[in-house]
Amino acid sequence: MQPTMRVLISGAGIAGPTLAWFLAKAGAQVTVFEKSHALLPHGQSIDFTGSAITIIKKMGLLDEVRRLNTTEKGSQFIDPQGRPFAPFPLNGGAGASPTNEFEILRGDLAKLLHDATKNDANVIYRLGTTVKKVISNDDSTVQVETSHGEMQEFDFLVAADGQWSKMRKQCFAPESVQMVDKGMNVAYWTVPRSPSDNDWWNIYMAGRSRTIGLRPDPHGTTRAMFSIMPCNDNQARAWQEASVGGRKLQQELLRREFADAGWQARRLLDAMDQAPDFYFHPLHQIKMAKWSTNRVICLGDTAFAPTPLTGMGTSLAIIGAYCLAGELSKLSNAQHPSEAFEAYESVLRPFVEEVQNIPPFVPGIAHPEQEWKRWVFHTCIAAVSWIVRTPWIMNRIPVKRDDEFPLPSYPVFDDDALRKLGVVSSP
């Protein structure tokens, strides 16, 4: 890597701190801006699989990830009385359960990555700070004005500020960014744990294209998720308006739409006002014509948000950060960062496009509008549950993993090189 390369990362979620960790190990000077004044402790369950696990092992963080596990035992579909009729235990079949071995709250993972980088001499975090304006992005540097009025200069800028990135909006033409609406709206919040709550991901299909989920966490609370696919134009318009209308309007809409949903809908709706976190948004994929422009590069959800429907958002963020750092580590003094950006995109884009290729019946299959469709889904999912819990059948079904990405080898990040820097990879 070029000596003392100065890097600005916008966003301290998952992708940004992962990139900071690897760039710092390669000798770069990294500054991370984050708009929040403190890392948010909230967020729903996320997981990572395949090659992302290998990367977390390289960082020596896998034991901490295991310690922060949400304790989820598996996923199960339930009836209006809360009785499970289609369980998918974590160990009930290779890859059959939506629950993953490495379930962790997003806030816990973000804090873990921050803690792993905050004391590194090559990393500076500036919380409560954003890029107000990109002044220039030319052949020599990137110049920015911060939210505090400072003018700063860097060798390149990484936009890792999420799906609704302000950095991307500043630096890329609107026609180069495609937002693919998946027709589904979700709301998440945290509620006090009830004695009736268990350590499963409970999924309840309420009819009229509505679904409610409850998941455990390791902090003595329970995470609620409500989702809906609007059934007509008026309903779709109401959800779209609410998505930009603030928490009060969003909660009023949720109460109207889910008041008669059954199961524990009333309890969860009643707990909304006191929830320390509340997140409401439509599901969109982000597809960019090109992930970089000169000395500005997009990473994670900013570049290629796949939606939670794929279960791969966190994995892509971690893999993308590793590959971007790896390609940058190969630059000689005379090379422009755009050469590494193009190599990174060439390596990763085919896998991203494969992940983003969601079957057309998803998410509609899990949001039946009519009662007969719900009955058909319940019948089929119960049969699948029985199959994956029957060893003699599963042993005869070949397992094909689609979450594996062949990690490129970067000498600066191999285990021996990292060990010399004091990093002990997780077993």
pLDDT single digits (tens) 273-299: 999 999 999 999 999 999 999 999 999
224 within 8 A of 190, measured Cβ to Cβ: yes
> Are residues 279 and 304 in contact, defined by beta-carbon separation less than 8 angstroms?
no
Instruction: Please give the distance of CA 21 from its chain centroid, rounded to a whole number.
Output: 18
- List Cα–Cα distances, 319 to 10, 43, 154, 183, 247, in angstroms: 18, 21, 24, 27, 33
Q: Is the pLDDT of residue 59 over 70?
A: yes
Token look-up 């009836």 returns 79
- Which string of b and e fits 70-85 if b means at least 16 CB within 10 Å? bebbbbbbbeeeeebe
Measure the CA–CA gap between 114 and 104, rounded to whole angstroms: 15
Q: 226 has which bridge partners?
A: 187, 212
What is the structure's pLDDT at 4? Answer: 82
- The confidence score (pLDDT) of residue 368 equals 95
Residue 25 has a pLDDT of 96
399 pLDDT band, cuts 50/70/90, is: low
Q: What is the pTM of this model?
A: 0.95
Q: What is the pLDDT of residues 80-96, one digit of tens each?
A: 999 999 999 987 545 67
**Strand 296-298, strand 292-293: pairing:** antiparallel
- For residue 424, what pLDDT band results from cuts at 50, 70 and 90? confident
Q: What angle do CA 76, 79, 85 make, to 5 degrees?
A: 45
The percent of residues above 90 in pLDDT, for the chain, comes to 86
Cα distance between residue 63 and residue 399, in whole Å: 27
* Stretch among 99-103, 237-241, 259-263 having the lowest mean pLDDT: 99-103
Give the pLDDT band (50/70/90) at residue 396: confident
Task: Note the pLDDT of residue 398.
Answer: 64
What is the per-residue pLDDT for 334?
81
Q: What's the rounded mean pLDDT across residues 180-194?
A: 96
Q: Which of 338, 4, 371, 405 is nearest to 206 (CA)?
A: 371
| Tokens 């990174």 sit on residue | 344
Name the residue among 185, 175, 193 with its Cα closest to residue 279. 185
Structure tokens at 410: 């970067």
Specify the pairing of strand 296-298 against strand 156-159.
Answer: parallel
- At residue 215, does pLDDT exceed 80? yes
Give 3-54 pLDDT, tens digit per residue.
689 999 999 999 999 999 999 999 999 999 999 998 877 788 999 888 999 9
124 bridge partner residues: 31
Give the pLDDT confidence score for residue 92 in this predicted structure.
Answer: 52
| Closest to 99 measured CA to CA, from 77, 118, 119 | 77
